[in-house]
Chains A and B, each alone.
Chain A
Amino acid sequence: MMDRISLKRSIKLGSFRAKFILVVGGAVLFDLLVSGGLALWNVQRLSRDATLEVGQGLEAASQDYIRTYADSTAAQVSLLLRQVHNDVGTLAGVLQAQIDDPERNLDVGAAIARTSPDSVRLVYDQKGNWSQNVPGSVSVVSVWGYLLKPDHSPRPDVEADIQTSAVLDLVAPSLLQHGSSKLQMYYIGSKERPIFRTAPYTDQAQTFDRLYPGHNDANFWNFFFPGLYESWQSWAANMNSRPVADDITQTAPYTDAITGKLIVSFFHPLWTADRRDVAGAAGADITLDQLAETVENVKVAQSGFGFLAMSDGNVVAINRTGEETLGLRSASDTSGTGVTGLERSLKGSSQPEIAKMALDREQGIQHLLLERNGQKVPYIVIVKKLPATNLWSSGPVRQEAMSLVLAVPEREIDASLYAAQAKISEATNRIVLYQILAIAMSLAIVTIAVLAASKRITSGISALANAARRIQTKDYSVRVAIASKDEVGEAGEAFNRMAEEISFHTENLEQLVEERTAQIEDAKEEISTLNAQLQRENRRLGTELAVAERIQLMVLPLHQELDELQALEIAAYMRPAEEVGGDYYDVLKSGNRLKIGIGDVAGHGLESGVLMLMVQSVARALQEAGNVDAVKFLTDLNSALFKNIVRTKIDKHLTLAFLDYDGKEMILSGQHEEVIVIRTNGEIERIDTMDLGIPIGLQADISQFIRTRRIAFEQGDLILLHTDGVTEAENDAGELFGIDRLCVEALRTKNESADKVVSEIVAALMHFIGSQKIHDDITLLAVRHR
């Protein structure tokens, strides 16, 4: 049974799943926020940079545009003024040429009087007290009352002037028609006879009377343009005194007496032939509208405007939008100083920032805040000074440079900039929104995924934990079902096996305890038995070995026996190995014959000892029976041993060799280790015994294999007999003692007694063996001829 955990179940804080969600979710959230934040920051920065870049570009472009616009407008205004100047100049040139040539002047005047009598024929006006030609002529000529004789006819000098001035009829119409757009062109006589001839024809004097009452009672120049004439006279005296190096003199705007329009007059003084005095002036008027037209046409963006202003702030030309924006008030100057001026000064502007402007100083681009509908609106204002000109405005002529001003609301000039910024900002916002949406979406997806994954991943662990808790409460029936093929799945399987075992063990505990107890008891009994057996076996083995050792040592010849020998000096050494081998040596005396035997039973233990005991007994019996033939001796001994081996099933054999000594000869028989003979002169002879026999106990009859060999044995000669326990003894390095070392040791001790020889060789051998185990019995015999 598996405890199902529903998804709805709240995730406990501190649970593995909560930690998992926290870790994974936290990591992903952090990652998302970092990457998202970076992206947002980058987008914002990009947008800021782009806006700045575009802004700077567009601002520069806008300012360039305004500058260019201002330049071109100024150029247009200058061009218009220049044209007017030229036209005035042309007219003045013709008139000046006539003055400079009085004869021609009179001739031309007379000729025109003949061809165009209406141009010179005057009619006196009673009411105005002036004379004027009748309409129909190209130009009108007005002669003021103070220039008439009492009969209302002009004074003679005036009459001449009327005629000569008619030359204007030849020039002015074409100038009016072809030059710049002018209201009128005229000739004004000198201060002595300031007649006034104007083309085209208008009711000139009547208008004067209406607009400027009393003008007929004063000199024309003094009445209309006080100070102007005197300025020119001072120029005549010194041309360098002109404020601007040009004869053209411009007036401030004023109300035209003839047309009643606001005009600006351009005068060109005429000089006497000797250039010492003023001889009148040529002039042309343009309406302010004409001038204004140029600036009125200025239309930058939607509500941008331009205006022309004098340096004192008096606005010469402005369109309606501008006028309203600047809040200018027009006032006619009725101070009575000459023509009626127009006072429309910036100083009277309702815009404080405009009122503060000092046009004679300011140039270039400025940013001003102007009020519009109660709101402060930033404007870009560009001031452009026009070329300086001579200006009369009541009083002496002074230099004046008009300024052209363009004003455009920044918002409009920057409209494209704002549009671009708005676009960028919109794009930015869109990107940011998408980014936030993307982050939110990712978060949602990740959250769902993490929750799902955590459920999948941790459900197994939760199940395991729950099941473990139930096991804790001793409910051993619980099992988990984890489908996943991972470590958790493996843990689940292992858990189930454990639970099964636990439940099995718990349920079967008592029975199990009983069984185990029984098993333990059985085992204990078995152990006891085995222990006893072991003890017995140990005892048996120990006993056996002790017995074997005793047997081996007990049959060895006694020291006493050896010492009693007359002919030979014999010393022997035997050391059984721990496991007791089957080494054999014997010295059998029978009469004057000696039989020295040495042998080695294969293997270890009691059986080897018993076999060796048999060999000793049989050998003794054969010796006692008077068996002197060495070959027969060995054959019989083998025969007896073979039969006993078959009977006792002692599955062993032995090597066995004998030395027979009869006082003269030493005869060797049987197969064993090599026999070493050391002569008194130090020669060593090693005698191989392989061909002298065959191991005893292998087959019933060995007579055919036995050979004998006589060994030369003189006084002082030494014979060494040994078993393989000597030559096959090992040292720590695993080297064998070997026959060569044995020979070296024998040679070293050859002059010693037999006892000494044996003990020295054994000492050397033991030193060689060191701490190594002694595998086999060690037997050594030394036989010296006395």
Chain B
Amino acid sequence: MEISDENFRVWTENTEVYFDGIFRLAGPDAYAPIHSMIVGLLHEGHKQVTFNLTGLEFLNSSGINLLAKLTIEARKMGELQLIVKGTNQYPWQAKSLPNLKKLHPLLDLRLA
């Protein structure tokens, strides 16, 4: 599964979701296909799912809202272990990703 544009690319490999590039999509409607793709993965019954954001240079506030919703979705699943891999290389990640941990304390946030 893959959704891409000239500036970004999001795709899944097994239970890992990769975000790459710059996301400046205009609002929730624009992010809906990505949302449904990843929600689909979350409901496939895996023990754990990883969001790999190490290649994600920029994410606008609507994108952050998407990540928050996906985190809340994962939190509802109970059994599912969600891992979020981020990087301190991009300041927005250090600033915004801890909020996901607040929304879902069992989330394994790995900022490297």
Contacts and interface: CB of A to CB of B under 8 A. Distances in A.
Interface in B1-40: 24, 26-28
Contacts of B26: 579, 603-604
Contact of A699 (B27, B64, B72, B98): B72
Interface string A755-785: 0000000000000000000010000000000
B61 A600 contact: yes
A441 to B, nearest CB: 71
Contacts of A705: 102
Contacts of A699: 72, 103
A653 B69 CA distance: 10
Nearest to A649: B28
A671 interface: yes
Contact of B28 (A579, A651, A694, A724): A651
Nearest to B27: A603
A603 B62 CA distance: 6
Contacts of A690: 95, 98-99
A605 interface: yes
A652 B102 contact: no
Contact of A694 (B61, B95, B103): B103
Nearest to A653: B65
A691 B75 CA distance: 21
B102 A602 contact: no
Interface in B51-106: 60-62, 64-65, 68-69, 72, 95, 98-99, 102-103
A698 interface: yes
A409 interface: no
Contacts of B28: 603, 651-652
B27 A695 contact: no
B26 to A, nearest CB: 6
B61 A602 contact: yes
Interface residues of B, number: 17
Contacts of A604: 26-27
Contact of A605 (B24, B27, B61, B98): B27
A602 B65 contact: yes
A600 B103 CA distance: 19
B92 to A, nearest CB: 9
Contacts of B60: 602
Size category, A interface: 20 to 34
A466 B60 CA distance: 69
A579 B26 CA distance: 10
Nearest to A654: B61
Given A602-B64, A690-B95, A698 B103 contact: yes
Contacts of B64: 602, 695
Nearest to A582: B61
Q: Which of B24, B26, B69, B102 has the most CB of A within 10 A?
A: B102
Interface in A677-726: 690, 694-695, 698-699, 705, 724
A708 B59 CA distance: 28
Given A603-B28, A651-B28, A690-B98, A698 B61 contact: no
Contacts, number: 48
Given A698-B72, A699-B72, A652 B99 contact: no
Contacts of A724: 61
Nearest to A607: B27
Contacts of B61: 600, 602-603, 655, 724
Contacts of A653: 65, 68
A671 B65 contact: no
A695 B65 CA distance: 9
A623 B83 CA distance: 40
Given A600-B61, A603-B27, A604-B27, A698 B68 contact: yes
Given A602-B61, A602-B62, A694 B27 contact: no
Contacts of A698: 65, 68-69, 72, 103
Which of A603, A653, A655, A695 counts the most B-chain CB atoms under 10 A from its CB? A603
Contacts of A579: 26
A651 B65 CA distance: 8
Contact of B99 (A600, A651, A695, A775): A695
A652 B65 CA distance: 7
Nearest to A579: B26
A5 B26 CA distance: 70
A692 to B, nearest CB: 12
A602 B31 CA distance: 13
Interface string A140-174: 00000000000000000000000000000000000
Nearest to A739: B91
Contacts of A694: 99, 102-103
Contacts of A775: 24
Contacts of A652: 27-28, 62, 65
Contacts of B72: 698-699
A690 B69 CA distance: 19
A605 B29 CA distance: 12
Contacts of A605: 27
Contacts of A671: 99
Nearest to B75: A699
A401 to B, nearest CB: 125
A698 B99 CA distance: 10
Contacts of A607: 27
Contacts of B27: 603-605, 607, 652
Nearest to B104: A699
A775 B60 CA distance: 11
Nearest to A650: B28
Nearest to B26: A604
Contacts of A651: 28, 65, 69
Interface in A653-691: 653, 655, 671, 690
A652 B64 CA distance: 10
A652 B102 CA distance: 18
Interface in A551-585: 579
A433 B102 CA distance: 110
A774 B8 CA distance: 21
Interface string A281-304: 000000000000000000000000
A671 B62 CA distance: 17
Nearest to B32: A651
Interface string A461-474: 00000000000000
A705 B99 CA distance: 10
B67 to A, nearest CB: 10
Contacts of A655: 61
Contacts of B68: 653, 695, 698
A204 to B, nearest CB: 152
A690 B93 CA distance: 12
Interface string A403-430: 0000000000000000000000000000
A612 to B, nearest CB: 13
Given A600-B61, A724-B61, 18 more contacts: A602-B60, A602-B62, A603-B26, A603-B27, A603-B28, A603-B61, A603-B65, A604-B26, A605-B27, A652-B28, A652-B65, A694-B99, A694-B103, A695-B99, A698-B65, A698-B68, A698-B69, A699-B72
26 contacts: A579-B26, A602-B60, A602-B64, A603-B27, A603-B28, A603-B62, A603-B65, A607-B27, A651-B28, A652-B27, A652-B62, A653-B65, A653-B68, A655-B61, A690-B98, A690-B99, A694-B102, A694-B103, A695-B64, A695-B65, A695-B99, A698-B69, A698-B72, A698-B103, A699-B72, A775-B24
In order of increasing CB-CB distance, the 4 nearest A-B pairs are: A602-B61, A651-B28, A603-B27, A603-B62
Interface of B: 24, 26-28, 60-62, 64-65, 68-69, 72, 95, 98-99, 102-103
